[in-house]
Amino acid sequence: MNYLQAKSLLESVGQAHLLRYYDELKEEERQELLRQIEETDWSIIDNFYHPEDLSGKGEIVPIEGLSLEEIDRRKEEFTAVGQDMLRRGKVAAILLAGGQGTRLGSDHPKGMYDIGLTRKLYIFECLIHNLQDVVKECGVSVPLYVMTSKKNHAETVAFFEEHDYFGYDRSAVRFFTQDMAPAVDLNGKVFLEEKGKISLSPNGNGGWFSSLLRSGLMEDVRRRGVEWFNVFAVDNVCQRIADPAFVGATVLSGCDCGAKAVSKAEPHERVGALCLENGHPSIIEYYELTEEMAQARNADGTLKYRYGVILNYLFALSRLEEIASEKIPVHVVHKKVPYLDENGVLCKPETENGCKFETLVLDMIKLMQRCLPYEVRREYEFAPVKNKTGVDSVESARELLKRNGVEL
Ligand code: UTP
């Protein structure tokens, strides 16, 4: 794409200001900017002006799930089936590590965060240790596909290399990168992050499967005979990954999806809850629940909408392939976005100054035919690191790690 083509394209999408510094750029910077302009999906910005109506829910009813009591009762049966699946290489783990962790405020990939106190203990290391438990239990390596973004790919791979994959079988680990989307200010104008660089951000975790397809790694997936993917977030340092009992329970249920969930601590806890929407599995956000639904209880006193999701899902590959061409909604999310101000100086804002466009893995649940909510103990398995302090923070995660006997 040459300058004139870029100019006309940008004019047609109302973003001509991105060429403001073109004359000041060196030749290779110009080429890089033109390449960025050509590769960007500009249509995504329509979502800023015409956000999808995500509030339009269908008929919502509670979903049946597996409670802790039921799981405890059938643990041996579930575990045996799951172990067999793992030993036969049918389950792979997908680590979603493409996010920017802006709330944590670190400039490095979140998994590189050192959560230790008296020794170094990186978030990636915690996750790998948790996965190693299953490797020891089943006697086979679990394939691990790590999704990064263009922003943090090189640093993430180098970190795993530098730490010798934290003792994990490196031949079982593969990396792939997700796509990027432009970030806009509150008037819908795309930011520059350098005079010759558009501000691009990872486009959410909902595109993990399409990115995996594009990465060429499906050959590896098929060669290994993988049939299920356990998709999990980078920031929950206590979660069990490729958990045999969870795998066994989901397979035995005949569902094409399983979701680990914690029982909501109180009716208005700020977690998305699994439900059925027009007969399909779905996740209803805490702010979408009516007061009546939030308070509704079963005969045994438990909340009807109690299965709060923790971003640890099991997906059947066969179903993912069927829905691969289906669109999932784009969310316009307010975030702090570093940008070049009118004087060409880089600013790092203290408050949300712009929007990013993201698809979310939770929207994939709706496309599955049946989903099994699988309850886990929050004091054992739910320690997300979103913030530095307070709720869902480094501090709260440390507390839980300590309680679970992890030396910090
Ligand atoms: P979050 O929603 O917590 O986003 O991601 P984040 O980018 O990590 O953090 P904030 O909101 O900027 O503070 C949940 C999970 O999804 C991954 C994250 O790495 C995390 O594991 N994710 C998020 C991606 O892989 N790609 C994305 O584009 C966004």
- Take residue 6 and report the two structure tokens written for it: 């870029």
Say what angle helices 75-87 and 244-253 make with each other, to 10 degrees. 100
Burial class (CB in 10 A: 0-12, 13-18, 19+), 111: buried
Q: Is the CB of 109 under 6 A from ligand 1?
A: no
Burial class (CB in 10 A: 0-12, 13-18, 19+), 218: middle
| Residue 100 CA, closest ligand 1 atom number | 7
- Identify the weakest region by mean pLDDT among 70-79, 255-264, 387-396: 387-396
Max Cα distance, the chain (Å): 71
Report whether pLDDT(53) > 70: no
- Grade residue 55 by pLDDT with cuts at 50, 70 and 90: low
- Take residue 277 and report the two structure tokens written for it: 């929407």
SS3 347: strand
Cβ-proximal residues to 165 (8 Å cutoff; 6+ apart), any chain: 128, 173
Q: What is the pLDDT of residues 74-113, one digit of tens each?
A: 999 999 999 999 999 999 999 999 998 888 888 899 999 9
Q: Is the CB of 103 under 6 A from ligand 1?
A: yes
Ligand 1 center–CA 214 separation, angstroms: 20
Mutate which of 44, 94, 100, 177 for ligand 1 pocket (most atoms within 8 A of beta carbon): 100
pLDDT of residue 285: 87
Ligand 1 center–CA 103 separation, angstroms: 10
Sign of CA dihedral 251, 254, 257, 262: negative
pLDDT of residue 399: 94
| Residue 98 CA, closest ligand 1 atom number | 25
Sign of CA dihedral 235, 240, 243, 246: negative
Q: What is the pLDDT of residues 273-291, one digit of tens each?
A: 999 999 999 999 888 888 9
Question: Chain centroid to CA 224: how far?
Answer: 24
Average pLDDT (362-377) is 96
| pTM across the whole model | 0.94
Q: Is the CB of 384 under 6 A from ligand 1?
A: no
Could you give the percent of the chain with pLDDT greater than 90?
A: 90
Ligand 1: residue whose CA is nearest its atom 9: 101
User: With contact defined as beta carbons under 8 Å apart, do 314 and 249 qualify?
Assistant: no
Could you give the percent of the chain with pLDDT greater than 70?
A: 99
Q: In order of start, what are the domains of the chain with their CATH numbers?
A: 40-403 (3.90.550.10)
Question: Chain centroid to CA 330: how far?
Answer: 14
User: With contact defined as beta carbons under 8 Å apart, do 248 and 85 qualify?
Assistant: yes
Mutate which of 148, 205, 335, 357 for ligand 1 pocket (most atoms within 8 A of beta carbon): 205
Q: What is the pLDDT of residues 138-187, one digit of tens each?
A: 999 999 999 999 999 999 999 999 999 999 999 999 999 999 999 999 99
pLDDT of residue 101: 87
pLDDT of residue 100: 87
Closest CA to 142 of 174, 105, 110: 174
Q: What is the pLDDT of residues 297-333, one digit of tens each?
A: 999 999 999 999 999 999 999 999 999 999 899 999 9
Kind and range of the H or E element at 372?
Answer: strand 371-375
Beta strand residue intervals within 126-207, DSSP E: 144-148, 173-177, 180-182, 184-185, 192-194, 197-198, 200-202
Burial class (CB in 10 A: 0-12, 13-18, 19+), 106: middle
Report whether pLDDT(198) > 70: yes
Q: Is the CB of 97 under 6 A from ligand 1?
A: yes
Angle, alpha carbons 160-162-164 (nearest 5°): 65
pLDDT of residue 286: 86
